[in-house]
Structure 1
């Protein structure tokens, strides 16, 4: 029979053997992460366009920073060969250019990124389906392997054929998942450590 400190709300941690400060830290960390997931999920569901544009802006800023770092490595990285330094500078400048283009055309750039991500997911499903069919003779249940392979291929083709619709469905699904995970996480954060039988000071 499980004890109160070893169940769902303990995250697999023996709560009776850890300091109270650690309990509080885990509770705060879990609560913050869950709150962020919930906020992002609600934002994606209510304001999908604006939320994706914020994500696109963050990606653009990340590209700028990454490009600057890559360029700096090429300029000041004396430990590398001349060819590697030149390549690093060229790649860095290209990444910076990509970041600038994305930030200057945020709406269009974000839409293109979403479509590319969706198409990549669809292609991945097609590849997974083909691999499942090829390896079906090695599966414990060949019929199920073939069925799953065909479903994966058909789903991938549908995503690639209609990426815009698929992206809308995909982000709606992600938003719902984030909201559910956020709510569950907040409940767990609130209840985490409530089943301790002893309190150990750090």
Structure 2
């Protein structure tokens, strides 16, 4: 029986550690977003740019070294790799402008998604049991999407702040869960 209880304690400790570490990471990132929103956004943009460069190198490497692919496939991989590398390098050379561009892009993307989501909600109205809620949701989604499209940069800033606040709250909740789990396991 002791081996079963030690396995159970190990599982609880593993879950508790995952909750604690995940909560701590969320809390720290959330605080960084709230304290240094621009710098944190630039760091995220730099990480995405570095990722693009690495992916570009992988695609280019596949195109150059994969002998089983056809000529057009290899050329396509090389071209795609070079484009990823160029995009990543350009983003890193002017990180501030890339961060702003990325924020505007995300704002426009979110605005379009909300409008499309509202339109889709209206098209599925016939099969909905709660038509009033579906209509209200669709209208709110379309209006929110239009507002975001009218000012995508400011909308992205507000969403960034909300994301930071959410991470702080969720991080604290996860850390509390980690401690509560250890108390119930005893």
TM-score range, shorter chain: over 0.9
How much has 1:16 moved relative to structure 2? 6.4
Counterpart position of 1:140: 129
Structure 2: distance between partners of 1:155 and 1:93: 37
Matched with 1:104 is 93
Q: Is 1:82 matched up with 2:71?
A: yes
- CA apart distance, 1:25: 2.4
Contiguous gaps of at least 5 residues in structure 2: none
- Structure with bigger helix share is 2
The equivalent position to 2:165 in structure 1, one of 173, 176, 193, is 176
Matched, 1:151 2:136: no
Q: 2:41 aligns with which of 49, 52, 60?
A: 52
Aligned to 1:23: 12
Distance between the aligned counterparts of 2:7 and 2:122, measured in 1?
Answer: 49
CA distance in 1, matches of 2:5, 2:182: 9
- Which segments of 5 or more consecutive residues in structure 1 lack a partner in the other structure? 1-14, 198-202
Helix, strand or coil at the partner of 2:185:
coil
* Count of residues in correspondence between the two structures: 183
**TM-score where L is the length of structure 1:** 0.86
The offset of 1:172, in angstroms, is: 0.9
Distance 1:17 1:132 in 2: 51
CA contact (8 A) 1:132 1:148 kept: yes
Q: Which residue of 1 aligns with 2:174?
A: 185
By how many angstroms is 1:190 displaced?
1.8
Rounded to whole Å, the distance in 2 between the matches of 1:196 and 1:93 is 53
Q: TM-score scaled to structure 2, two decimals? A: 0.93
Helix, strand or coil: the match of 2:182? coil
